[in-house]
A and B are shown apart, each in its own frame.
Chain A
Amino acid sequence: MLLEAKGIVKKFGGLTAVQGVDYVQEPRSIDAIIGPNGAGKTTFFNILTGIYKPTSGTLTFNGKSLVGLSPDQINAAGISRTFQNIRLFNDMTVLENIMVGMHSRLRVNLIDTIFRLPRFGSQEVEVRRKAGQILDFISLTDKANEISRNLPYGDQRRLEIGRALASDPKLILLDEPTAGMNPQESVEAMGLFRRVRDELGITVLLIEHDMRVVMGISERITVLDYGQKIAEGDPLTVRQNPRVVEAYLGRGSAGSAGDK
């Protein structure tokens, strides 16, 4: 398997956001993590990407432990991500955003840079060529030189995915990638997620609220509630699981009032 998390616990003071979650993902799969607001999904993503250190538990990716690695080291190891509330480099161009995404794959060296050694030039040419391919993949080629803050919402979402793809990840984590999209846009986004897997061979894990997207694209679904895994399996199994139904419907507004 590509990713294996065992007994992940994360405590913030007295609050336990994630309580002993086990998670396994096979290569080249598209899986989803769902759950009501405050279930600990994003916290789990932040643990996987090194933004938070888990209180306890082990993380193995591609046969190597991720525990104790910093976010940039985890990116270099092959996990890339997008953010729930888009975090682009707002003042940089679309192209530059993608180029920053490649950082962990580049030879970054003061001497090369100052003296413009030949290998610096050839690397920059290669960076631009690859950035061009990625822009093509996310259909933003004609906006390459626009400042990213000026892009429409849907383009910003796609750019964030493109930036995450730039580091040649093995696994890409998408945090609510269709949030704020209309049904039409969501369908297009799903097409993009599938192409990421089918054409680039990258494993996809997404957090999603839109059930049409979740049920339409995921091969396996993991359900979190109050920091615990309450169900997992294929979409049909999960949909019929009474605990899942209860988590989403049973407690109604009381459930969302108990968040955080």
Chain B
Amino acid sequence: MATQEQPRPLNPVQSLAVRQPVIAGVLFIAIATGILLIITRQQLLFPFWSSIAFPMLAVSPFIVFALKIPTRIKLLLVLVVILLIIPYLGLKDSFYLELAVQIGIFAAMAMGLNIVVGFAGLLDLGYIAFFAVGAYLWGIFASKEGDTYINQIHAVTTPESFYLFLFGGIALAAIAGILLGLPVLRLKGDYLAIVTLGFGEMIRVLVSNLSNISSDPTITINITNGAQGLSGIASPPLPQFVFDAVGGIANLLGIKIGNIEGITYQFFFYFLVLFIGLIAALIAARLDNSPIGRAWTAIREDEIAARAMGVPLVRMKLLAFATGASFAGAMGVIYAAKQTFVSPESFSFNQSIFILVIVIVGGMGSIRGVVLGAVAVTLLNLQILPNLSLLLNSFKNSNEVSASVQNFFKSIPSQLEPAKYQRFVFGILLVLMMIYRPAGILPASRRKLEIDEQMGKAKDEALPRSDVEPEGPFITEDPNNAA
């Protein structure tokens, strides 16, 4: 196997993409899939090839949509990737499914944060708090530990009530969003950011300390189990035939599976997250393209003018906080059920920043952009950087490389492992993005609308955004110069 990546001949690739877009799209997907099918975990360069090919596969839907091919073929190709290739790869190696589920969870949350930051222009540095609200809602009610801490709370909730709690998580997060929104209505820019940051930390500190709320020293009323977190959280029950079906399909394809139950649940969460994520995207798109979305954009552009034009500031801002938060609430419930464990560590400030980075890198205000941002940043964080580290480690110990190469890699101190400076890479990524592509990978564009046509006929063409001023999220205009 080659140790170096072949320099990619750019011009033939471009001309193929222009002249034969269908072939180019299929070829792109096929190459990625092919690499993933050939490589095995025993190979020395597995981490390298898998961190090239899986991200290729994950961004292939975006590539396909960028090509000039009929919409029907685009949808077909995307469905093949999402419903056949990724599940098949997941059956062979469940890590790919895990990655896909993580991407889905972060994509849905980024779409929620995008409503607050991208559409309405309200910088929120504590967004992970709403994820925590959803996760702890299901965690408290569905863990056996919760049962022993609070009297028989578990008896009132069965694993089946998961779906009910999904809506509960949405509602509770929306309420939390309004609670955050109320005190920050008058704040803008930096001040708003600081308060939301405080709110996020408050929720985290709250769940770390709700391990005993009893004033009587002889009785312990433990709600969240503090820093240790809640474990043994129930997942929704699946009927037996689902497990049988997954086992049957695996047999049919000649794939040996050790833990049928685990892989089946991975599939369940993959499709659940896919489904909820699609609904979230649909809701975000519909909100964007409506009087509500226009009012949000107006608030983002000029608060004073928006109010003078009849936009009720309080209502619209609270609506943005509530709807944005509800996306994270739903994903929180799913996350708790998937991990079967929640602890305050999962809801740190870094996580809020992580989602904000997704939104900024993807393109503030652009739904497609933040989904692509979720793919890129999540894979960088969970696959590419850890794999790079793995690769360097394997160079140290593998017999396939010469002794001098081994010694060179042994001389690298473990403190310099790539996985250890993920935040550093994020920082560089952000700096580069802000300098070269301040509006994100897929920038938001305004819709072109036909005036007198019927809604359905209206063309939604993207306008070029070359005129966008480089404007960071922390720079806000001073709106107090109306006089």
Q: Give the A-B contact count at a CB cut-off of 8 A.
A: 151
In the complex, the answer to whether B452 meets A83 with C-beta atoms within 8 Å is no
Tell me how many residues of B have a C-beta within 8 Å of chain A. 41
In the complex, the answer to whether A150 meets B467 with C-beta atoms within 8 Å is yes
Q: Which of B309, B455, B463, B467 has the most CB of A within 10 A?
A: B309
Interface string of B445-483 (1 = CB under 8 A from A): 011111111110010000100011000000000000111
Residue of B301, B319, B452 touching A129 (CB-CB under 8 A):
B452
In the complex, the answer to whether A101 meets B301 with C-beta atoms within 8 Å is no
Interface string of B137-170 (1 = CB under 8 A from A): 0000000000000000000000000000000000
A48 to chain B, nearest CB (A): 11
Report B-chain residues with C-beta under 8 Å of the C-beta of A114: 283, 286-287
Q: Is A65 interfacial (CB 8 A cutoff)?
A: no
User: How far does the alpha carbon of A35 sit from the alpha carbon of B447 in the complex, in Å?
Assistant: 43
Partner-binding segment picked from B235-243, B291-299, B348-356, B408-416 = B291-299
Q: Is B313 interfacial (CB 8 A cutoff)?
A: yes
In the complex, the answer to whether A145 meets B302 with C-beta atoms within 8 Å is no
Report B-chain residues with C-beta under 8 Å of the C-beta of A101: 309-310
Q: Is B323 interfacial (CB 8 A cutoff)?
A: yes
Report A-chain residues with C-beta under 8 Å of the C-beta of B292: 108, 110, 113
In the complex, the answer to whether A87 meets B302 with C-beta atoms within 8 Å is yes
B107 to chain A, nearest CB (A): 19
Interface string of A148-167 (1 = CB under 8 A from B): 01100000000000011011
User: How far does the alpha carbon of A49 sit from the alpha carbon of B454 in the complex, in Å?
Assistant: 35
Residue of A75, A96, A120, A141 touching B308 (CB-CB under 8 A):
A75
User: How far does the alpha carbon of A123 sit from the alpha carbon of B292 in the complex, in Å?
Assistant: 13
In the complex, the answer to whether A89 meets B306 with C-beta atoms within 8 Å is yes
In the complex, the answer to whether B323 meets A72 with C-beta atoms within 8 Å is no
Residue of A95, A103, A141 touching B311 (CB-CB under 8 A):
A103
Residue of A85, A92, A106 touching B301 (CB-CB under 8 A):
A92
List the 7 shortest-distance A-B pairs measured between CB atoms, nearest first.
Answer: A104-B310, A75-B310, A132-B451, A71-B307, A89-B301, A87-B305, A145-B448
Instruction: Identify the A interface with B (CB < 8 A).
Output: 42-43, 46, 49-51, 70-73, 75-76, 80-81, 83, 85, 87-93, 95-96, 99-106, 108, 110, 113-114, 116, 120-121, 123-125, 127-129, 131-132, 135, 141, 144-145, 147, 149-150, 163-164, 166-167
7 contacts between A and B (CB under 8 A): A43-B483, A70-B313, A105-B310, A108-B292, A113-B286, A128-B449, A128-B451
